[in-house]
């Protein structure tokens, strides 16, 4: 099993630029989660999907953030325009809720906005 795949692993961009983070969940998993981790705030849930439908986006910080899941094997998190305070590690995770509560995390994307 390849696990959750995220790309890019590292992204450095300048303030005002658009950033797109990508995630491929584990095949067969019906839930997908986007998290953000910073030293100050720890690990925060941004949004999650069930069967490609957004269920709870209350953690999305503001309108500059958007997430999509066009099919069961792909999701994107977009930040437009990016700001320095968006610098963080962004994790994607997936789970098969019918089987278990645990979530499997991808390796994360380390975003730096200059």
Partner 1 sequence: RKEVEQDPGPFNVPEGATVAFNCTYSNSASQSFFWYRQDCRKEPKLLMSVYSSGNEDGRFTAQLNRASQYISLLIRDSKLSDSATYLCVVTLNAGGTSYGKLTFGQGTILTVHP
Residues that bind partner 1 (CB under 8 A): 31, 33, 42-45, 48, 50, 55-56, 91, 97, 101-103, 105-108
Identify whether the C-beta of residue 72 lies closer than 8 Å to the C-beta of residue 20. no
- Residue number with CB closer to partner 1 (85 or 97): 97
- Residue number with CB closer to partner 1 (57 or 81): 57
Identify whether the C-beta of residue 3 lies closer than 8 Å to the C-beta of residue 106. yes
Identify whether the C-beta of residue 2 lies closer than 8 Å to the C-beta of residue 28. no
The nearest distance, CB 16 to partner 1, in angstroms, is 27
The nearest distance, CB 97 to partner 1, in angstroms, is 6
- Residue number with CB closer to partner 1 (42 or 70): 42
Residue tagged 């839930």 (tokens):
31
Cα–Cα distance measured from residue 50 to residue 54, given in angstroms and rounded to the nearest whole number: 7
Nearest by Cα to 19 from 52, 67, 60, 53: 67
- Residue number with CB closer to partner 1 (19 or 106): 106
The nearest distance, CB 92 to partner 1, in angstroms, is 9
């Amino acid at each position: 099993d390849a696990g959750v795949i995220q790309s890019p692993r590292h992204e450095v961009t300048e303030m005002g630029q658009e950033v797109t983070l990508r995630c491929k969940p584990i095949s067969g998993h019906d839930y997908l989660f986007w998290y953000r981790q910073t030293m100050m705030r720890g690990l925060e849930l941004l949004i999650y999907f069930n069967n490609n439908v957004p269920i709870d986006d209350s953690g999305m910080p503001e309108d500059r953030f958007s997430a999509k899941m066009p099919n069961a094997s792909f999701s994107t998190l977009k930040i437009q325009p990016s700001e320095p305070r968006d610098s963080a590690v962004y994790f994607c995770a997936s789970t098969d809720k019918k089987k278990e509560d645990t979530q499997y995390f991808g390796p994360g994307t380390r975003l730096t906005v200059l």
